Amino acid sequence: MGRVAFVGAGPGAADLVTLRGARLLGCAEVVLADALVDPALRELAPQARWIDVGKRGFRPSTSQARIHSLLLSAARSHDLVVRLKGGDPGVFGRLDEELEALAGAGIDCEVVPGISAALAAAADSRLPLTRRGRGRSVAFSTAMTRDASLRVGRHADTEVFYMAGRQLGALGRALRQAGWEPATAVSVVSRAGCADSLRSRHRVDQLAHAALLHAGRPTVVVVGAGAEPLNAAPAGARFVSIVPSPQD
């Protein structure tokens, strides 16, 4: 009986993985990898058998039951299995379900944290999620639910929505209904942590205008204090400003 290491691959570029994660990949015999993991990470585990178990919203994906079955089978026949998850394993990664499946079978495991997409989005945009005196709390939510419904509230000074790319228009309307002011700042980042990341700034009532720019790309939306622009534009920052036409 072997063991399973859940490793956070980070949100984009391969070099965002932690040193511990890289070391475990170098020892792994089997790697079960998420869809958005940088293929360059394969160079850290050339000896391992790689199995794609990725999930993508609105697309055919590997079932959770199938992932559990593969994890159990691999751990029973190999010394070390790495379950490579995008971002951080414990943030919208169904880590709880996979841990329970392993515990039920008596299989030892460990969890190595990774950089979550929200943190990468904040870093790419140079917009800190917390601000002294006016941004003391941050809430993480998912814009993608099993029934494609949005559950939006106002729980913190800054709210971060994952998996929001196809729901930007609906998200903007839901934010208004939840009590966010129309002029509230919004930052949208797609492919956070990657060389081709895109960032755009909006107001809540203009969020739908970001849909075309970020279409088909993994997208994070930051609302509130953490999306407010700083006094000076940072050197090297690349933002796309979307200005609606007068009739909008």
Q: Measure the CA–CA gap between 66 and 149, rounded to whole angstroms.
A: 25
Q: How confident is the model at residue 147 (pLDDT cuts 50, 70, 90)?
A: low
Sign of the Cα torsion 244, 131, 139, 197 reads positive
Among all residues, which ones are annotated catalytic?
Answer: 34, 55, 163
Q: Which of 84, 112, 140 is the last residue of a domain?
A: 112
Q: Which of 97, 112, 127 is the last residue of a domain?
A: 112
**Has residue 243 got a pLDDT over 50?**
no
Place of tokens 């990657």: 194
Instruction: Give the other-Cβ count within 10 Å of 158's Cβ.
Output: 28
The pLDDT of residue 236 is: 44
Helix, coil or strand: residue 200: strand
User: How many structural domains comprise the chain?
Assistant: 2
**Are 130 and 61 in a shared domain?**
no
Stretch 143-149: mean pLDDT, rounded? Answer: 67
Q: Going by C-beta distance under 8 Å and a sequence separation of 6 or more, which residues neighbour residue 7?
A: 17, 18, 20, 21, 24, 25, 82, 83, 84, 85, 89, 112, 114
Q: Measure the CA–CA gap between 33 and 51, rounded to whole angstroms.
A: 6
Classify each residue of 198-215 as buried b or exposed e, where b means 16 or more C-beta atoms within 10 Å of its C-beta: bbbbbbbbbbbbbbebbe
Structural domain range at position 76: 3-112
**Are 99 and 141 in a shared domain?**
no
List the structure tokens of 186. Answer: 């919004």
User: How confident is the model over 60-105, as pLDDT tens digits?
Assistant: 679 999 999 999 999 999 999 999 999 999 999 999 999 999 999 9
Residue 19 in any domain: the answer is: yes
Cα distances (angstroms) measured from residue 63 to each of 38, 52, 68, 100, 146: 21, 12, 9, 16, 13
| pTM flag (> 0.85) | yes
The pLDDT of residue 151 is: 81
List the structure tokens of 184. Answer: 């509230």
CATH of the domain at 31: 3.40.1010.10
Q: Measure the CA–CA gap between 143 and 166, rounded to whole angstroms.
A: 9
Closest CA to 85 of 152, 20, 27, 10: 10
CATH of the domain at 170: 3.30.950.10
